[in-house]
Amino acid sequence: MSNKKLIVSLSPHTCGKDSVSRIMYDVLIALMPAFIVSMYMFGFGALRVTLIAIFSCVLFEYLIQKFMLKVKPTINDGSAMVTGLLLAFNVPSNLPWWMIIVGSFVAIAIAKMSFGGLGNNPFNPALVGRVFLFVSFPVAMTSWPVPILTRFKLVDAVTSATPLSIVKEGLKNNIATSELITKLPSYADLFFGKLGGCIGEVSVLALALGGIYLLYRKVISWHIPVAMIGGVALFSGILWGFNPEKYMDPMFQILTGGVFLGAIFMATDMVTSPMTPKGMIIFGVLIGLITVVIRVFGAYPEGVSFAILIMNAFVPLIDKFCKPRKYGFVKVKND
């Protein structure tokens, strides 16, 4: 017929609308409500940290891909932006600028690119960056600006403790929980985010909104968030049942310290989470367990980041043993 060359390839000849960048931009959109709340709470500080983190993450990825790996930079896929935003969400709003850049460097260069870039990293890059900062600069990472009051101050803001560190300190000094609660923000404040803490972790409501969006867009499934929050509630509930004066109640444990941020955005990171529903539930519940163990018995008041990173290491193992049920194996003849 015509002289034009036809294209030949194997089936399927059509493709769904999903793409890596669509997934990444969906995550960014889902993080927006939490970002807006953090802007309200921490003002310019939050904006400053977020912009520096995103910019430096994207820049590091670009530089490494362009000049070290000599491949086509893939910064347009949005994954570096997600890493930057998540890293920013995990640090206090008064962190010095150079620490943010160090954290971004660790996240992108060490945790992501050295393993082969997007898809090959065994650990969540943003969390590796956060934990690196946390271990290296414990003081800077644990002085939290007081929300709302410090909105227009950039660095030397008034700082306060997070509810979890108040509890940790209090319990160490043998103060009963019933007494401690009077010093803590109300559950409503915890829910809407009126408390000291990392930029993104304060408002449970905003994070849950983002989670619902991600579920609607089928970027994440319900298994990991539900299992992880359930896991935290379950194990802290067991301890609380034993001795309510010594251990905080499960509601408090869930609403504080980035459980929601971790459950919805960090643990569900596709690259570093299991692939089957069964594996996801095991993964989530164990993160919950480790979180409670670190919070209650460990030296740190918070445990979500460590718990997720520890479980990231077990993902290949979980994937190996939690396989999807294969077709044709249901009726095995007289085994």
Partner 1 sequence: MNFTIFYTIISLSSLGILAGVILYFVAKKFKVIEDPRIDEVNEALPAANCGGCGYPGCRSFAEACVKATDLDNLFCPVGGNKGMNDVAKILGIEVVEKEAMLAVVRCNGSYKNRPRTNIYDGTTSCKIVHNLYSGETGCSFGCLGLGDCVKSCKFDAIYIDEETGLPVVDEEKCVSCGACVKACPRLLIELRLKGKANRRIFVCCSNTEKGGIARKNCVAACIGCGKCVEVCPFGAIEMRENLAYIDYKKCKLCRKCVSACPTKAIYEINFPPKKPKIEPTAEIKMEETN
Partner 2 sequence: MSGYKELKTFPKGGIHPEGHKISADKAIELLKMPEIVSIPVSQHLGAPAKPIVVANDIVKVGQVIAESGGYVSTNIHASVSGVVSKIDKVMDASGYKRLAITIKIDGDDWLEGIDTSLDIKKKITLSKEEIISKLQKDGIVGLGGATFPIHVKLSPPEGKVADILLINGVECEPFLTADHRLMLEKGEEVLIGTQIIMQALGVSKALIGIEANKLDAIEHLSNLAKNYSGISVVVLKVQYPQGAEKQLIEALTNRQVPIGGLPIDVGVVVQNVGTAFAVYESVQKNKPLVERVVTVTGKNLKNPSNFLVRLGIPVSNLIKAAGGLPDQTGKIVSGGPMMGKALNTPDVPVTKGTSGILLISENESMRGEVLNCIRCAKCAWHCPLGLEPYLLMNLVEKGFYDQAQQEQILNCCECGTCGFTCPADRPLLDYIRLGKSIINQKLREKS
Provide the binding-site residues for partner 2, judged by CB under 8 A.
1-2, 4, 6-16, 18-20, 22-23, 74, 77, 116-120, 270-273, 275-276, 323-333
Which among partner 2, partner 1, none contacts residue 329 (Cβ within 5 to 8 A by kind)?
Answer: partner 2
Written as one letter, the residue type at 103 is G
Evaluate whether 111 touches 61 at the Cβ level (below 8 Å): no
87's tokens: 């890293």
The residue (of 77 and 302) whose beta carbon lies closer to partner 2 is: 77
Q: How far apart (Å, rounded) are the C-alpha atoms in residues 268 and 252?
A: 22
CA-closest candidate to residue 198, choices 162, 250, 240, 158 = 162
Q: How far is the CB of 327 from partner 1 (least distance, A)?
A: 24
The residue (of 9 and 334) whose beta carbon lies closer to partner 1 is: 9
Residue 314: what are its φ and ψ, rounded to 5°?
A: -90, -5
Stretch that binds partner 1, among 3-11, 19-27, 38-46, 117-125 (CB under 8 A): 3-11
Q: How far apart (Å, rounded) are the C-alpha atoms in residues 157 and 54?
A: 23
Residue 145: what are its φ and ψ, rounded to 5°?
A: -60, 145
Which among partner 1, partner 2, none contacts residue 70 (Cβ within 5 to 8 A by kind)?
Answer: none
Q: How far is the CB of 115 from partner 2 (least distance, A)?
A: 11
334's tokens: 């007289």
The residue (of 10 and 330) whose beta carbon lies closer to partner 1 is: 10
In the numeric block, the tokens 């290949």 are attached to 316
Evaluate whether 152 touches 219 at the Cβ level (below 8 Å): no
In the window 6-25, what residues touch partner 1 (CB under 8 A)? Answer: 6-10
188: contact with partner 1 by CB under 8 A: no
Residue 144: what are its φ and ψ, rounded to 5°?
A: -100, 130
Q: How far apart (Å, rounded) are the C-alpha atoms in residues 238 and 166?
A: 22
Q: How far apart (Å, rounded) are the C-alpha atoms in residues 165 and 295?
A: 10
Distances (CA, A) of 102 to 106, 115, 154: 6, 18, 19
The residue (of 12 and 16) whose beta carbon lies closer to partner 1 is: 12
Q: How far is the CB of 294 from partner 2 (least distance, A)?
A: 26
Q: How far apart (Å, rounded) are the C-alpha atoms in residues 27 and 268?
A: 11
Q: How far apart (Å, rounded) are the C-alpha atoms in residues 31 and 172?
A: 35
In the numeric block, the tokens 């970027």 are attached to 219
The residue (of 201 and 269) whose beta carbon lies closer to partner 2 is: 269
The residue (of 4 and 326) whose beta carbon lies closer to partner 1 is: 4
Q: How far is the CB of 16 from partner 1 (least distance, A)?
A: 18
Q: How far is the CB of 119 from partner 1 (least distance, A)?
A: 18
Q: How far is the CB of 17 from partner 1 (least distance, A)?
A: 20
Which among partner 2, partner 1, none contacts residue 270 (Cβ within 5 to 8 A by kind)?
Answer: partner 2
5: contact with partner 1 by CB under 8 A: yes
Which among partner 2, partner 1, none contacts residue 131 (Cβ within 5 to 8 A by kind)?
Answer: none
The residue (of 6 and 332) whose beta carbon lies closer to partner 1 is: 6
Which among partner 2, partner 1, none contacts residue 153 (Cβ within 5 to 8 A by kind)?
Answer: none
| List of residues contacting partner 1 (CB under 8 A) | 5-10
